[in-house]
Amino acid sequence: MDYDAVGTAATYKRARRLHADTVALWRGIIRRVVPDCTHAVLDVGCGTGRFTRVLAELYGVTTIGIEPARSMLGQRDAAGRVHFVAGSGEALPLRTDCADLAFLSMVYHHFRSVPAVLAELRRVLRPGRCALLRTTTRETLDGLEFLRFFPESRQLDMERMPARAAVVRAFAEAGFTCAAQETIRQKLAADHDEYFEKIRLRSLSSLQLIAGAAFERGLREFERYCRAADPDEPVYEPVDLLVFQASERGP
């Protein structure tokens, strides 16, 4: 998916906005699994920076958002001790042993070379410090309501989204230990009207990558479903969180 395409970044920012209580949920979770940081915090594949500012506020240290799509960086929303850098996970523009935390949100399936990214994370993280992966996995796909109406998108995600075991194995091969894994239930939309609008904007890569006719067909069915739903019922989705600790490097 080309996140530098005209209009993509603005649509992404609008459609992927996090509710205040969802932000509060993740603030608490991140602080619980990584209580403190004294060195830099990295938001790898930060997009428009929706978590970058949260990380900076949590730890009060220099926080660096790294994103390859310059149009996404043009929509960034952060302040304080936050810096943004155009760069890829496969070649982080950072010195060795500079960071206490690397946060990766919804980017794992976009990496061109997972081994290269994990090697870079292992290089820039201080020994004993953590990488936090917030991601969709194959195991969580059935919890995403909209995919029932877009079978082409679901098939695509089954092929490109990682399985939990594969993620743990990849990090282990790069010198990390899995310290924790849990599935978080987060609010995606206040009601099904908002849910329909988010899907209608087609900001998700799994919707962008299917044919237009398939999207329009699914959207009509999804609209009927949303209109028939309880108007006051919030929509939740499962998101996997995996915490990996960097081991000591050999001589």
Q: Measure the CA–CA gap between 131 and 102, rounded to whole angstroms.
A: 5
Q: Which residues contact 96 (CB under 8 A, 6 or more apart)?
A: 123, 124
pLDDT at 96 over 90: yes
What does the pLDDT average to over 17-26? 94
Q: Measure the CA–CA gap between 117 and 91, rounded to whole angstroms.
A: 7
Point out the least confidently predicted range of 140-144, 188-192, 231-235. 231-235
Specify the pLDDT at position 154: 98
Specify the pLDDT at position 219: 98
Which tens digit of pLDDT belongs to each residue from 171-222?
Answer: 999 999 999 999 999 999 999 999 999 999 999 999 999 999 999 999 999 9
Specify the pLDDT at position 15: 87
What does the pLDDT average to over 85-91? 95
Point out the least confidently predicted range of 6-10, 133-137, 190-194. 6-10
Specify the pLDDT at position 128: 96
Specify the pLDDT at position 203: 92
Specify the pLDDT at position 28: 98
Of 2, 3, 250, 245, which is closest to residue 125 (Cα–Cα)? 245
Specify the pLDDT at position 1: 67
> Helix, strand, coil proportions of the chain in percent (round to 5)?
45, 25, 30
Tell me which amino acid residue 42 is. Answer: L
Specify the pLDDT at position 231: 84
Q: Measure the CA–CA gap between 124 and 122, rounded to whole angstroms.
A: 6
Helix axes 114-124, 164-173, angle to 10 degrees: 50
Q: Measure the CA–CA gap between 202 and 107, rounded to whole angstroms.
A: 17
pLDDT at 143 over 90: yes
Of 79, 50, 240, which is closest to residue 164 (Cα–Cα)? 240
Specify the pLDDT at position 39: 97
Q: Taking CA 239 as the corner, what is the angle to CA 140 and CA 204, rounded to the nearest 5 degrees? A: 85
Residue with tokens 């958002």: 65
Please, what is the average pLDDT of the chain? 94
Specify the pLDDT at position 145: 97
Q: Are 148 and 119 in contact (CB under 8 A)?
A: no
Q: Measure the CA–CA gap between 189 and 235, rounded to whole angstroms.
A: 5
The number of angstroms, rounded, from the C-alpha of 93 to the middle of its chain's C-alpha atoms is 20
What does the pLDDT average to over 6-10? 75
Point out the least confidently predicted range of 47-56, 136-145, 169-178. 47-56
Is residue 225 packed enough to be buried (19+ CB in 10 Å), middle (13-18) or exposed (0-12)? middle
What does the pLDDT average to over 13-42? 95
Q: Measure the CA–CA gap between 245 and 179, rounded to whole angstroms.
A: 6
Domain spans in the chain, listed from the N-terminal domain onward: 8-138+161-188+237-246
CATH superfamily of 8-138+161-188+237-246: Vaccinia Virus protein VP39 (3.40.50.150)
Q: Measure the CA–CA gap between 222 and 199, rounded to whole angstroms.
A: 9
Which residues face 104 on adjacent strands? 44, 133
Q: Measure the CA–CA gap between 61 and 55, rounded to whole angstroms.
A: 9
Residues found in the chain: 251
